[in-house]
Chain A
Amino acid sequence: MKRIAIEQRKDWQLRVEEKGLLFHHTEEGLYWDERAYYKFTADQIDVLDDATNELHKMCLAAVSHVIEKNRFAELGISPEVAEVIRDSWRREDPSLYDRFDFVYDGINPPKMLEYNADTPTGLQEASISQWFWLEEVFGDKYDQFNSIHEKLLETWNGLRKFIPSNKLHLACVAEHIEDLVTTTYLQDTAEQAGIEAELIFMGDIGFDAEQNRFVDMKNNFIGSLFKLYPWEWLVSDQFGPMALANYKGMLWLEPIWKMILSNKGLLPILWELYPNHENLLPAYFDGPREMTKYVRKPLLSREGANVTIFDGDKETHTPGSYGEEGYIYQGLAEIPCFDGNYPVLGCWVIGGHSAGLGIRESKTLITDNFSRFVPHLFE
């Protein structure tokens, strides 16, 4: 695993925009950063592929464990929501996609930081932008860990039997370009798989009190809804009780049982179930225990918010609005430093199978909202 500096394509902004990446900058600078790339060997990619598949199975076993042992309270999940999760899991409500975040140096086994299983973003850039970058810059010389697009088409095709009248609504918040691109890309792949798909913003979803149904902007009933919107927000919103009451009458993507996987409480539960597993970091609910270098994470934090790193005498804290729901303590991963950059590897799971890799790197140990997406390849 190497980080290799390279000249940007002359018209790179146009190139990535033409393929749908409309947010190539953040307020702090580049988001899409092709001034460098990461190069792996095929063996290293196999390691990531295998770890992704194995951890996904372990995570599903952890969901089953939480439900069976009724450990919802430790995850801050209310009994009312837990009941719907139980039903959803029992029915085997289908899922579309997930993304692991790994620390990896190319030598030691990858370590799982967390599982973004409810509302993962960064999909278009991992699937499309970096693939066209590879083709345009290197032609057929190298390969890329990336079958995301193909697996999305396959998975949507498999989901068709769960979608009433073959009609799917996809929803995201209106104010966020990253969410809109991710949702539109999923709409695009659903349509390519033969599904009639329509975008709606979360705030525009209506509820018909007489019919007890959710409706779109034309007051047509919503029978299937992909929502790029966290379940913990959804159940807390004004329409939350209606969503819970109507859960069985609709197809929800992601399903509500994903609340267990996207909760940081998954990490100590995995460590209990699989102690000393080579792809896990120690993690606990009740405190750092024996750890002297560790990270305190809110159960529901996103984008690195409200994370505190305890590294010996040093403490680093990120701002945010999470934490009231409780924390977990996870061993501090040794993120390798490449030329002053700290990469975190996002390994995608599509339809339950390992599907590809997207890398974001930061100047600090905490990967946040302004971290840059850097393409990769392997030989």
Chain B
Amino acid sequence: MKKSKQIIIGSALTALILSGCSDGTSTQRRCVDKDGKILADSDCAHEEEMRRRGYGGYPGNWMLFNSHYPSGPYVAPSAPSHNWAWGGAVSKNPGGTTILKGGSSSMPKSSGFSSSFRGGSSSGTSVSRGGFGGSASAHSGGFGG
């Protein structure tokens, strides 16, 4: 049962961990106020430091990410106040949005995907999106009782 090797956290999870307000790249900050307005770097840095020192956060805090995701940054119009990335308490409520769309830290990979299966790429002119997940709140798994 003893683990034979150490767990290595790879680049994907590391990127997610680092992708919050505290990524150190001011242009990547995504600290927003209750109206969804992106705050000035100085305000963001101040709150970030406060959160670092205090930790724990408030219930309902928001986890925000930078703009690595292909669809770019997106700010939810309903984002509440005190919506800080690093260390905040994050809602697990399926009805309460906690991550803003476009919030993945995953860097877009090469566009050179060419599948030998039925591969290649689409011209995009006949592509529609939003056909999955539109009506469902995010949730899965669960320990039922």
Contacts and interface: CB of A to CB of B under 8 A. Distances in A.
Main secondary structure of the interface of B (DSSP, over half): loop
Interface stretch (A56-64, A75-83, A183-191): A183-191
Which one of A19, A205, A210, A369 has the greatest number of beta carbons of chain B within 10 Å? A369
Contacts of A215: 121-122, 124, 127
A221 B127 contact: no
Interface residues of B, number: 80
A189 B10 contact: yes
B93 interface: yes
Contacts of B20: 22
Interface in B15-68: 16-17, 20, 55-57, 59-60, 63
Nearest to B55: A13
Interface in A170-185: 171-182, 184-185
B131 A239 contact: yes
B78 to A, nearest CB: 11
A175 B7 CA distance: 28
A223 B117 contact: yes
B92 A165 contact: no
B108 to A, nearest CB: 7
Interface residues of A, number: 116
Given A17-B17, A239-B131, A127 B92 contact: no
A218 B139 contact: no
Contact of B134 (A24, A237, A369, A378): A237
Interface in B114-141: 114-141
Given A19-B9, A127-B7, A302-B140, A26 B135 contact: no
Contact of B144 (A113, A175, A192, A202): A113
B57 A25 contact: yes
Interface string A1-38: 00000000001011001111011111111010000000
A45 B134 CA distance: 42
Nearest to A180: B99
A209 B106 contact: no
Contact of A25 (B9, B14, B90, B101): B90
Given A45-B1, A177-B92, A204-B71, A369 B142 contact: yes
Contacts of A370: 92
A173 B144 CA distance: 21
Contacts of A24: 89
Nearest to A42: B1
Given A173-B136, A203-B129, A302 B144 contact: yes
A239 B135 CA distance: 12
A128 B7 contact: yes
A31 B92 contact: yes
Contacts of B145: 101, 113, 295, 304, 307, 335, 342, 344, 362, 365-368
B111 A220 contact: yes
A247 interface: no
Interface stretch (A66-74, A86-94, A227-235, A283-291): A227-235
B143 A344 contact: yes
Contacts of A176: 92, 94, 98-99, 137-140
B144 A249 contact: no
Interface string A226-252: 001110011001110010000001000
A302 B142 contact: yes
A180 B20 CA distance: 14
A203 B59 contact: no
Given A28-B59, A175-B101, A202-B132, A114 B3 contact: no
A258 interface: no
B6 to A, nearest CB: 9
5 contacts: A17-B17, A165-B115, A205-B132, A230-B140, A369-B142
Interface of B: 1-5, 7-14, 16-17, 20, 55-57, 59-60, 63, 69-71, 86-87, 89-94, 96-106, 108-109, 111, 113-145
By Cβ-Cβ distance, the 10 closest A-B pairs, closest first, are A176-B138, A25-B89, A164-B117, A239-B131, A121-B141, A202-B133, A173-B138, A303-B142, A119-B140, A199-B106
